[in-house]
Amino acid sequence: MKILRADFILKCDESFEIIKDGAISFDKKILAVDSFENIKKLYKDEEIEYLGEGSVIMPGLINTHLHLEFSSNRISLDYGDFMTWLKSVIEKRDELLNRCEKDNCIKKALDTILESGTTTIGAISSFGDDLKECKDTPLNVVYFTEILGSDPASVDMLFSNFLERLDRAKECESESFIPAISIHSPYSTHPILAKKVLEIAKDEGMLVSTHLLESYAEREWLDRGEGTFLEFLKSFNPHAKPMIRALEYIELFRDNKTLFTHLCYATKEEIDAIFMMGGSITHCPRSNRLLGSRRLEIENLNEFNIATDGLSSNNSLSLWDEMRAFLMLHESLDINLLAKMALRSVTIDAAKALALKKGSLKEGYDSDFIVLNLHESIDDISKIALMLLLFTKDASQVFIDGKRLK
């Protein structure tokens, strides 16, 4: 057992309680979180390590949605418009994957994620090239094996390729590596395939992730079979038609615990349908901005998770950078309120979306937490969330499973 004392403890619980001059006792699990006074009384003769002036302890951050396999990208892809981006991904994919293998870029990306203070990730795996690194990292990984493909003639081949990748992921299952399933999107995945893999997810109790209503092009395509998607798909199939409508697509996930990502162009009815079935919404502000999507109207959402998406549509995998972008994007809301919402979205709410006993500093929860430093004392605790967001680059210390990793 170990005990740490900090000037502030952000519990990130339902009421977002902040303890001034607090302490935490822990081993693999959190034993107690309270004021320093109370912890001292509880453990009379135990040593308590003080973390210094302006120190903060909070749960490790949780990035529910990223794509590691595209981590070698810096300036190869085209931004500003979704279809332009998609074409550039298809054109540059092999080059990016080869470069990534040579440069060991997945391991490097995971190291920067840990340095920043993220302790759990939801990794969308398109090819399985990131499996070894995800298995070997000290981070907690929910590993979403992706299915994608719209050609009915290739359904069997795609499904068996998916099953092979899923089996390999399942062989790596452990306390810190959780296999899950990703269905790429309604425009790229045939409903037959989607249904087959959702059945597996249901039978095996696996989480599901999907991209949905990210771009105006996707909205136009699903609603009317028109727009830039039609032009793009015509070159593969002159009779291309949308395979499913947006609301019908959402209904497919009725019996699965699902994370829906983007939703920039979703209607109120669609958002309500997602929440009604216990789904969660992932918000990727920088990815949306770079791929030419409109702002997600968070004013209408009860809950969401901020995530970075991959380096194929972002310039870093840091949730601190992402939360700063989030603060700057949603100008209609009070800045201190937004900061709190942001921290909640990457801790307690993200843990809920991934069904993990993490993301809050509570007795019995996993000992995944980070130490941050404001370097100065601060009297007004209502400013802490915003100040952390503005000035944190990396965590000073990172604990996963009670072990100090940084």
Using CB under 6 A, list all residues that contact ligand MCF. Answer: 67, 70, 89-90, 124, 126, 146, 148, 184, 188, 211, 214, 287, 309-310, 312-313
Which option in Fe ion, ligand MCF, none does residue 313 bind, with CB closer than 5 to 8 A by kind? ligand MCF
Which option in Fe ion, ligand MCF, none does residue 126 bind, with CB closer than 5 to 8 A by kind? ligand MCF
Q: Of 235, 240, 298, 281, give the one whose Cα is nearest residue 86.
A: 235
* Rounded Cα–Cα distance for residues 127 and 138 (Å): 22
Active site (annotated) includes residue 115 = no
Catalytic option among 146, 214, 218, 322: 214
Question: Could you tell me the smallest distance in angstroms from the CB atom of residue 176 to Fe ion?
Answer: 22
Q: Between 309 and 368, whose beta carbon lies closer to Fe ion?
A: 309
* Rounded Cα–Cα distance for residues 357 and 29 (Å): 10
Q: Of 385, 393, 383, 379, give the one whose Cα is nearest residue 53.
A: 379
Element (H, E) at 241: none
Give the CB-nearest residue to ligand MCF.
126
Structure tokens at 39: 């912890």
Q: Between 10 and 213, whose beta carbon lies closer to ligand MCF?
A: 213
Which option in ligand MCF, Fe ion, none does residue 322 bind, with CB closer than 5 to 8 A by kind? none
Question: Could you tell me the smallest distance in angstroms from the CB atom of residue 182 to ligand MCF?
Answer: 7
Which option in ligand MCF, Fe ion, none does residue 367 bind, with CB closer than 5 to 8 A by kind? none
The answer to whether 398 and 120 have CB atoms below 8 angstroms apart is: no
The answer to whether 31 and 1 have CB atoms below 8 angstroms apart is: yes
Q: Between 19 and 317, whose beta carbon lies closer to ligand MCF?
A: 317
Q: Between 218 and 368, whose beta carbon lies closer to Fe ion?
A: 218
Question: Could you tell me the smallest distance in angstroms from the CB atom of residue 8 to ligand MCF?
Answer: 34
- Binding footprint of Fe ion on the chain (CB under 5 A): 309
Which option in Fe ion, ligand MCF, none does residue 390 bind, with CB closer than 5 to 8 A by kind? none
Question: Could you tell me the smallest distance in angstroms from the CB atom of residue 32 to ligand MCF?
Answer: 40
The answer to whether 239 and 290 have CB atoms below 8 angstroms apart is: no
The β-bridge relationship of strands 369-373 and 397-400 is: antiparallel
The DSSP code for 154 is G
Locate all alpha helices (DSSP H) within 253-372, ordered by sequence.
268-276, 285-290, 319-329, 335-345, 348-353
The β-bridge relationship of strands 49-50 and 55-59 is: unpaired
Catalytic residues, by residue number, are 214
